[in-house]
Amino acid sequence: MDMANVISVLVVLGLVWVVAFYQWSTVIWTTLIGVTLLAFTILGYLSPIALVILWVFYLAAALFANLHQLRRRYIVLPALKMLQKQLPAISSTESAAIEAGDTWWEKELFCGRPNWNKLFDIPRPTLSQEEEHFLNTHVEHLCSLINDWEIIFKERDLPKEIWDYLKKEKFFAMVIPKEYGGLGFSALAHSTVVTKIATRSISVAVTTMVPNSLGPGELLVRYGTDEQKNYYLPRLANGIDIPCFALTAPDAGSDAGAIPDTGIICRGQYDGKEIIGIRVSWDKRYITLAPVATLLGLAIHLYDPDHLLGKKTDIGITLCLIPTSHPGVEIGSRHYPMFNAFMNGPTRGKNVFIPMDWIIGGTSMAGQGWRMLMESLSIGRSISLPALSAACGKVAYRVTGAYSRVRKQFNTSIASFEGVEEALGYIAGYSYMLEACRIMTAGAVDQDINPSIVSAIAKYHMTEMCRHVVSKAMDIHAGQMVQVGPRNLFANAYLAVPISITVEGANILTRNLIIFGQGAIRCHPFILKEIELISSPDPNIEELDRMLMSHIGFYISNILRNIAYGITGGKFIFSSSKNKRIRKYKQQLTRMSAALALLADTSLILLGGSLKRRERLSARLGDIMSQLYLASTVLKYYYDHNKPSSDINLVCWSMQECLYKIQIACNELLNNFPYRWIGKFLRWIIFPLGTAYLSPRDQLHHSIVEQMLVPSELRDRITRYCYLNSNDNNLMTRLDKALIHIETIDPLQKKIRKAIQSGAIAHSLEFSECIHAAKQVGILSAEEACMLVEFEKLRSEIIKVNEFSFDFDAVIA
C-alpha cells in the first residue's frame, strides 16, 4: 500500500509537470488531473494525507483557472489598479522606437522554444545574375581605380575619376527602384558591394554606402510623396544630386529624441509669394557627405505656435529635404574622422524659410520623423556597418593567415607559435561569424522584414568583433603594419574601427539600452499587449485576464523546462540533426533560449520599469539574446551551404564561443541580481551542476587555424568578394602566390638547413649564397635552386615596409 501511495503521488506530480511543461490548455489539464485524482481516490491508492494535500492544491488551482468572473473581479481588477500606478510612463519617442520595425527569428529565441527547422527553411539569400555581373565588372573596375594611400594621406578626398565613376555607374542608387532610374538591388547586393569596396578602401566604401542607407534616397522611397519621388529620385540615381542626412547635433548625439534644432510653422515669402512654410534653424555635425552634398535631409523638432495647421502646438520630430543651394544653408567645412578621407562635416542654418512641401512625405508626415528614423536606421544597421566589419574580417583572414605561414622566426613559421595561433584562431572564428551574420541579417531585409532588434545586435557585435579581428591582425603583423604606407593593408582599417563603433547608435548605448530594452517588449509573447491594455483609458478586463493567465502559464512552463534541461544537461532536447556535434549545440542553444525566457521574465516581473535604469542587467540579458542570434546565423550559413565537412570545426568553435559568452553573461547577471537569493535560486535552476560552458578548447582553436594556412575552397569562400588585385606588386597577391608554393619550398629550405648543420655548407654564407652552394654540391637541383631564389625574392618583398624621403614627399620603397 505504501508503494502504491508513492507511485500514485509520483504519477500525479509527473502529470502536473507534463501539462505545465507543454502548457496544455486549462480545460485539458483540469480534466486530466481531476480524473486521475478521482480514479486514485476511488481505488484507494492514496494515503489520507496525500489525498488531502493533492486535492487541496488541485482544487485551488482549478478554481483559480476556471472561475473567470471571480478571478477578474477579485484579482485582476485590484492588480490592474496597482499596475497602472507602478507602470512607468512611456514617452512618444520610446513608443515609436518600440513599434518601429519587425520581429523575426529573435522572437523565437526570446520565447525559449526555437524551431530550428523554421530557421533552416528560410530561403538562402542569393544574388541575382545582374547583381553578380555588377560586382564582377563595375565594382571590380572601381576597386582597380583605388589607391587608398593616395586618397587618405595625399589627396584627403576621392579623386575626380572615382567620384565620376560612382555617379555614372549608379553606385549611389542601389536602393532606388529601377522605375526611377536606380539599380533596385537587393539588400544582400548592397551589402556585398560595400563589402568588396571596403576590402580595398574604407573611405570609398563609406562614401558609397551612406547615400544607400540612412539618407534622402531611402527615406524618399519609403515615405516620399509621388511628386518628391518623381523629382528627386531620378536626380539621385543619375548622380546629379549628392545627398546627406543631418541628424546629430552638439547636444543631441545618440539621444536623437532630444533634437534641439527647430522648425516654426509660419507665413513667409518663397518664390515671390507669401505661403505657409517653416522657419528652420539648425546646427548639425558629423554629417557624412555634407561638405559636398547638394541635397540636405534634415531632422528638426516642428512647432505650430499660431496653429496654422491645426490645434496642436508641438508637432514633433519632422524630416525635411532642402537643396543646399537654398539661401541660408551653410555647408563646406569638414571634420577629419580618424584620418579617413570620406567627406564629413557640419551644416548650419539660421531662420531659413522653406515651403511645407519640403517635408519628406508632405504635410501629413509632419511629426512622424522619429518613427521614420527608427525604421530607416534599422535598415542601415542591417547592411552598412555589418558589411564594413565583414570586409575587415575577410582581409585579415586572407592576409594574416598567409603572412603567418610565410613569415618565419627561429627558422619556424610564426603560425606555429601558440601565442600567434591563439590570435589567428580568433581571426578565423570571428571572420566566419561575421560573414554568416552579414548574409543572414541582410537576407532578412530582402524578405521585407524591418529587423530593428536584429540590426542592433548585428551593429554592436559585428563592429566589436571587427575591432577584435583588426587588433589581432595588427598584433601578428607587428612592425610591418605599424609603418603606414602603400604596403600597409590594416592601418586605415585600424583607424576606422572607432568610427563604426560610434555611428548609427554608439555601441555602449546599443548594448545597454536598445538590444534588450527594445527586444524584451517586442519579442515577449505577452508584455507589449499587457502594457497596451494596462495603459488604456478603458482597458478590456477580459482580454487582460486572458493575457495574464497565459503569461503565468508561460512563466511556470519555463521554470519547469529549465529545471529539466539543467538536471539533464539538455541532452534529451529533441534535435533532428544527424551530425552528433551539431545536434549537441542545437540542444544547448535551445536550453539557453529557455534560460533567457526565464531570466528575462523574472527580471521584468521583479524589477518592472526600473529595469531600463539598470543598464548593466539589461546589457547582460541583451548579450544572451545576441549570442543566441549569432550562433543561429552560423548554423544557418552552415546549412545553407549544404553542411560542408570543411566547416564543422569553425561551426563548433563558433558555438563554443557563443555559449561561453552566454555563460559569462548569465554569471554576471545572477551575481549582480538585485535580490541575491533570487539570483542564487535561478542559478540553481539553470545551472544545477555548475558551469556548463567553457571557451573553445585549444585543439579546436588549432584546427581552425590550420585551415587558414593552406589554399582551399573554405579559405576562398570565407574571403569571397575580397578584392584580389592581379598586380604582382600588391601584398595580397604576393601572399596568395607564396602560399601556393610554400608546401614545395619548405622541404627545400630544410635541405639547406640540414646541410649547414652537417657542415656541407658554411654557416657564414648569406641565404642566396647557400642556395648556390647547395646547387654546386648536388643538394639542390638547378630547378630547385631557381625556385628557392624566386621564392626568396617574393618573401623579401612580402616582409618589406615602406620607406619615405625625409620630407615624406616620395616613397622610396
Going from the C-alpha of 748 to that of each of 214, 779, 780, the distances in angstroms are 56, 9, 8
The DSSP symbol for 102 reads: B
Q: Please spell the DSSP secondary structure of 125-162, one letter per residue.
A: P---HHHHHHIIIIIHHHHHH--HHIIIIIISS--HHH
Round to whole Å and give the CA distance between 68 and 80. Answer: 15
Determine which helix (DSSP H) or strand (DSSP E) holds 435, and give its type and residue range: helix 418-446
The pairing of strands 295-303 and 314-323 is antiparallel
| Cell numbers describing residue 71 | 478571478
Q: Identity (one letter) of the amino acid at 309?
A: L
Round to whole Å and give the CA distance between 306 and 300. Answer: 18
Q: Is 287 helix (H, G, I), strand (E, B) or coil?
A: strand
* Dihedrals phi, psi of 534, to nearest 5 degrees: -65, -40
| Cell numbers describing residue 718 | 570565407
Q: Please spell the DSSP secondary structure of 52-100, one letter per residue.
A: HHHHHHHHHHHHHHH-HHHHIIIIIHHHHHHHHHHSPPPPHHHHHHHHS
Q: Is 62 helix (H, G, I), strand (E, B) or coil?
A: helix
Going from the C-alpha of 93 to that of each of 100, 255, 367, 373, the distances in angstroms are 10, 10, 11, 11
Active site residue 543: no
Going from the C-alpha of 754 to that of each of 102, 577, 761, 763, 776, the distances in angstroms are 66, 51, 9, 11, 16
Q: Which of 106, 375, 464, 504 is catalytic?
A: 504
Round to whole Å and give the CA distance between 300 and 373. Answer: 12
Round to whole Å and give the CA distance between 791 and 794. Answer: 5
Give the CA radius of gyration of the chain: 31
Contact 593, 113 (CB under 8 A): yes
Contact 622, 456 (CB under 8 A): no
Helix axes 418-446, 369-395, angle to 10 degrees: 140
Return the residue matching grid coordinates 478521482.
Answer: 38
Closest-CA residue to 363 (of 325, 308, 294): 308
Round to whole Å and give the CA distance between 438 and 190. Answer: 11
| Cell numbers describing residue 7 | 507511485
Round to whole Å and give the CA distance between 113 and 136. Answer: 42
Return the residue matching grid coordinates 505504501.
Answer: 2
**Cβ partners under 8 Å of residue 493, min gap 6:** 202, 392, 395, 470
Going from the C-alpha of 100 to that of each of 44, 522, 601, the distances in angstroms are 60, 10, 22
Determine which helix (DSSP H) or strand (DSSP E) holds 409, and give its type and residue range: strand 408-409
| CB-side neighbour CA atoms (13 Å) of 554 | 23
The DSSP symbol for 695 reads: P
Catalytic residues: 504
